Amino acid sequence: MNTIFKNWVKSLLCIVIFSFHTLISFAQKGSNCPEDLIPRLGENRRWGYVNFMGEWRIEPIYAKVSPFVENKAIVQTGNLMGVIDCNGNVILQCKYEKMTNFRNGKVWAMEKGLWGLLGAKGQVFQAPQFTEILPIPNTEWAWCKKDNLWGLFNEDRNSFLCKPQFTMVQIMSDTASLVQINQLYGVVNHTNCNYLIPASISKVKKISSHLILFKQNGYWGLFGSNGKIYINPEFDTIKIKNEDALEVVKNNKYGLYSMKGKKFLPAQYDEIGSFSGGFYKIKQNNKYGYCNRYGKIYIPIQFDDANDFSKEAAVVCMGKKYGIINSTGKYLLKPDYEYIYSSPQATFYAVREKNYYYLYSSQYKKMNNLPFDTIYAGDTSIAVRVSYEKKIRYYNIMTNQFTLPGSFDNGMAFSDGVALVSLNNKAGLIDLSGRWILPAEYEAIQTEYFQSKKVYRIVQNNKQGFADANGKIIIQPEYDLIATALPNYLKAKKQGKYGILRTNGNIQAEFVFDKISNSAEDVNLPEWPAIAAQKGKQGLINEKGEEVLGFKYKNIIYLGEGLYACTESKYVSLCSSKGILTETKYTQVLPFSEGLAPAFDKAWIFINTKAQPQFNTTFDDVKPFKNKLAAVKIKDKWGVINKTGKFIVPAEYDSYTENDNKRILTKNGRQYILLPDGSLQ
């Protein structure tokens, strides 16, 4: 019911914004009283109903209301709901915690946490007894849950089509639902609750609003939300290939099916490439060919190697020689070459001939006779890197000449008009005009950002500094370490001491600290407050270098949840950016997980973020909470508890380990996997 009210409130806000015509359309859709009534919020911040002229017909006295359906509306007073008619008369008192809309003269209502079915005059068709209900839209059926089992109920007949027996139900359509029984899934119809697909499905995976992959007896198939099987369960895997095709695999052979189960390609191919340029590249018996999106072999399987189509052309290999074909299979460039690389979107090609590469245009013509050792075909067309006379140069495909006059020992691709290059083992930055943004005199240059402002980290003589996007030095390379920290700070190390800089290079906190925690040395610690050390003691400082916690602690460990474990003598204090929160009686506190942390003094317990015990039970050993469950040890035996301290798995297992995200309990040499719901597999 809460969701219903949220939707109505959203609709009602639209009434204020939209035109009168929109208001009329909304009202006609939601109301069927003799006079159309529209929910409105009164000046007293209460809800009532007005007509099209804005005249009050039902005074604003309710906390929430819904539009009229079947001449009745749900209203709320305080936290309880009831029903009124078109004249504002109360026909069901406001005593229910939740209610659905009326349909066919009946309404589901929750009282004292249980759902029952009522009539418009208060008749009790089903006494409150169901913990959950799922009315099926546009039907007279509803799934009802009792004693943790679901059954299908017919509201018109006031009887169950099938009694509660399913552990899980998911409505798929007006006609069918997915159900679970005995750990297996099936599909039942809503007419007589008979199985459309028997309860022998081990896994399901929804791939669209109306399509579900399912695994049955070890094999995958596909069914629709109506319960109809489109692909029989006979494949090792099925996955989405593109918006209108599925790739199936059987015995390591690939095929294609439509989303409705039509066979495009039988599962007899070694490989099916991505759909590109109107074709799939397919491989069979170590030869390649092409088919269209519906599986028709358009270009015969004949090539020794092949690329995907791009701009109606593809690079292919025949008899160890490469060429380029069009979408009819005709050669645009005959297979006479040692190798051919295509640039992205086929704007140019790198063609190898007699051990050298030559540039070819998108019209498959040689652009010049310059023999390159290497062409980086993935680069942008205005600055393609080429190796020429054992130097890196940049070539402009558009002008058919070198982009820059100079050459380099090495060079990276241009990005945002800038490229990193090296000369004599030194790094520098150039732009597309050949201008040096940063001269080649640094051991390393790395692009970074001060918030949204682009900068360059520079390293010279093993010291770090920063330059702006124009190459101006804003922080001289004289620091052993610089780590960025929000909002506009840098934690830095110089001559063995740590301090704080502003991003403009000004000193914020003098270099007097033996240590300041930073992202360069430990990415798991928060930026502020930072753990700092001075004269053998630790404390917390803020971004201005001011003490948040004095330097008197032997050790400070970050616990998560914005909290720190601060050890001064025997016991640990919990601290935050506000200082000491509370002193504890624990000698050790481990990091928080899901709001709870293990704490130790003679025995382990779990504490909350206020250092209070979550429950009184103590343990010999504990593991952090994960998915609301934690493994604990009592008297050499392991079990599993929830966040209230209740044992979900009794403490009777010999060991507990975690491996590859699996939580494993062992008993008498047999392993059991702990599942997220607390059950063992």
The predicted pLDDT at position 32 comes to: 72
pLDDT at residue 27 is higher than 80: no
CA nearest 282: which of 300, 257, 294?
A: 300
pLDDT at residue 28 is higher than 50: no
The predicted pLDDT at position 84 comes to: 95
> Do the strands 124-130 and 444-450 form a parallel or antiparallel pair, or are they unpaired?
unpaired
The predicted pLDDT at position 626 comes to: 93
Percent of the chain with pLDDT over 90: 87
> Do the strands 418-423 and 426-431 form a parallel or antiparallel pair, or are they unpaired?
antiparallel
Order across the sheet with 356-361: list the strands: 339-342, 348-353, 356-361
* Alpha-carbon span 500 to 484, nearest angstrom: 10
pLDDT at residue 220 is higher than 50: yes
pLDDT (tens digit, 9 = 90+) per residue, 633-681?
999 999 999 999 999 999 999 999 998 889 999 999 999 999 888 888 7
* Alpha-carbon span 625 to 22, nearest angstrom: 51
* Alpha-carbon span 217 to 32, nearest angstrom: 51
Burial class (CB in 10 A: 0-12, 13-18, 19+), 410: middle
Average pLDDT, the chain: 92
Compute the average pLDDT of residues 548-570. Answer: 93
pLDDT (tens digit, 9 = 90+) per residue, 167-179?
999 999 999 999 9
* Alpha-carbon span 595 to 357, nearest angstrom: 61
pLDDT at residue 23 is higher than 90: no
CA nearest 99: which of 122, 76, 126?
A: 76
Compute the average pLDDT of residues 142-171. Answer: 96
DSSP 380-437: -TTSEEEEETTEEEEEETTTTEESSS--BSEEPPPBTTEEEEEETTEEEEEETT--EE
pLDDT at residue 208 is higher than 50: yes
Structural domains present in the chain: 1-99 (no CATH), 621-681 (2.40.10)
The predicted pLDDT at position 14 comes to: 34
pLDDT (tens digit, 9 = 90+) per residue, 472-502?
999 999 999 999 998 999 999 999 999 999 9
Phi, psi of 28 (to 5 degrees): -65, -35
* Alpha-carbon span 505 to 467, nearest angstrom: 10
Burial class (CB in 10 A: 0-12, 13-18, 19+), 519: middle
* Alpha-carbon span 621 to 127, nearest angstrom: 48
Cite the beta strand spans of 407-534 per DSSP E.
Answer: 410-411, 418-423, 426-431, 436-442, 444-450, 453-460, 463-468, 473-479, 481-485, 489-494, 497-502, 507-513, 515-516, 530-534
pLDDT at residue 324 is higher than 50: yes
Confidence of residue 411 (pLDDT cuts 50, 70, 90): very high
Tokens 């607390």 belong to: 678
pLDDT at residue 31 is higher than 80: no
